[in-house]
Structure 1
Amino acid sequence: MSDVLIKMSRNRAGAALIKALGLPNPVELARAEGGYVALPFAGKTVLLAGAAGGYAAEALSAAAGAAGATPLRQARPTPPRASTSCCSTPQAAPRRPRCARCTTPSIR
């Protein structure tokens, strides 16, 4: 498929039309020399990072493997939740309203 906007931008009239329409100047993209490659990531290692228990981890790992890559997965630990201690434990005053029974911020 040819890049019509790139060809138009190479002559004066086409460049003026592109500018008048408010379109950005087209950039010629790097393209593969050959046609479709069955395993574009063959021999490559891909790092997949996400939250622990993320729903897309298995699908992304399978897709990377199907493209010929060796997927490495790194799960980030789940962030700690707010403390549910009693009112005797002082904490920094957050901007959210506090619970009536303890010092933890209200999630509302």
Structure 2
Amino acid sequence: MIHKLMTTTRVNYSGKLALIAALIFALAISSQVSAEPLSADGKAAVEQHFARLAQQQEMSDEQLIGGIETTLDTQITQVEQRFMKETCTKHQRHYDRQSQTCYE
């Protein structure tokens, strides 16, 4: 029974000691870590990277906006033609798409 108690005590003690040692080790490492400032070449590379990203974003935005404008123009044309056709029919006239007018 005494032997079992000693073994359990040693395991608990060594676990606590290991945890404390790990914390001290982690604090020692983290206090030593520091980033060096970028060199001129590094700064130039970062600036070039951000310039490329901005250029790609601008091209992507233009493409997206162009697609939306095309779709919107097509939809507006279709709605206008449907409106004119219905209006002309309502007034017992025919709709001419080319001239966009109603005639008898």
TM bucket (normalised to shorter chain) is under 0.3
**TM, length-normalised to structure 1:** 0.24
**TM, length-normalised to structure 2:** 0.25
